[in-house]
Amino acid sequence: MVKVDPTTLAVIRGSLDSISLEMDNTLAAAAFSTSMAEGRDFGNGIFEAETGEVITQGSESLPYFVGIMQFILQDALTRIDTNGIRPGDIFITNDVYFGGSHLMDVRFLMPFFYDGKLSAWLENIGHWVDIGGNVPGGFNPLATEIFQEGLVIPPIKLFSEGTVNKDIVSFIMANVRTAKEDYGDLMAAVKTLRVGEDRLRALFQKYGREVMLASFRELSIRSEQQMRSYIREIPDGVYEATDYMDNNGVTDELLAIQLKLEVKDDEISFDFTGTSEAQPTYANMIGTTTKTCCFVALKMIFPDVPINGGCYRPYSFNIPKNSFINSDPPHATTLNPEITGRVVDCVMTALAQAIPDKIYACNYATSNMFTIAGNDPLRGNWQVFGFWGGGLGGHNTGDGLTHGCTACTTAKTQPIEVYEQRFPFLFNRLAIREQSAGAGKYRGGFGIEVDIELVRGDASATHTADRGKVAPPGILGGKAAKKNKVSYILDGDEFIPPLKTKITGVKMTAGDRLVIESPGGGGYGDPFERNPDLVLTDVLMGYISLGSAEKDYGVAIVEQNGKLSVDRETTIKLRAGEQG
pLDDT for residue 101: 87
pLDDT band with cut points at 50, 70 and 90 for residue 61 = confident
Mean pLDDT of 563-578: 93
pLDDT for residue 408: 80
pLDDT for residue 83: 86
pLDDT band with cut points at 50, 70 and 90 for residue 276 = very high
Residue 491 in this model has a pLDDT that exceeds 60: yes
pLDDT for residue 63: 83
Choose between 414 and 108: higher pLDDT. Answer: 108
83-115: per-residue pLDDT in tens? 899 999 999 999 999 887 899 999 999 999 999
Q: Of all helices (H) and strands (E), which one includes residue 206? A: helix 179-207
pLDDT band with cut points at 50, 70 and 90 for residue 579 = low
Residue 58 in this model has a pLDDT that exceeds 80: yes
Pairing of strands 315-318, 267-271: parallel
From its phi and psi, is residue 100 left (phi > 0), alpha (psi between -120 and 50) or beta? left
Give the span between the Cα atoms of 146 and 281, in whole angstroms. Answer: 9
Quick one: the chain helix, strand, coil %, rounded to 5? 30, 25, 45
239-252: per-residue pLDDT in tens? 999 999 999 999 99
Mean pLDDT of 1-25: 94
- Average pLDDT score over the chain: 95
Within 265-379, strands assigned E span 267-271, 315-318, 369-376
Q: Which of 107-111, 227-231, 411-415 has the lowest mean pLDDT?
A: 411-415
Task: For residue 517, give Cα distances in angstroms to 32, 408, 436, 499.
Answer: 28, 21, 9, 15
Residue 1 in this model has a pLDDT that exceeds 80: no
pLDDT band with cut points at 50, 70 and 90 for residue 580 = very low
pLDDT for residue 413: 82
Task: For residue 204, give Cα distances in angstroms to 2, 78, 212, 220.
Answer: 15, 27, 6, 18
Mean pLDDT of 76-88: 90
Contact 142, 329 (CB under 8 A): no
Q: First CA to last CA across the chain, in angstroms? A: 77
Residue 540 in this model has a pLDDT that exceeds 80: yes
332-356: per-residue pLDDT in tens? 999 999 999 999 999 999 999 999 9
Closest CA to 98 of 81, 80, 111, 118: 80
Closest CA to 246 of 333, 363, 138, 365: 365
pLDDT for residue 330: 95
The b/e string for 352-383 (b: 16+ C-beta within 10 A; e otherwise) is bbbbeebbbbbbbbbbbbbbbbbebeeeeebb
pLDDT for residue 578: 66
Contact 560, 486 (CB under 8 A): no
pLDDT for residue 414: 82
Output Rg (C-alpha) for the chain, integer angstroms. 24
Cα angle value 315/317/322 (rounded, 5°): 155
Give the span between the Cα atoms of 511 and 532, in whole angstroms. Answer: 44
Mean pLDDT of 415-434: 94
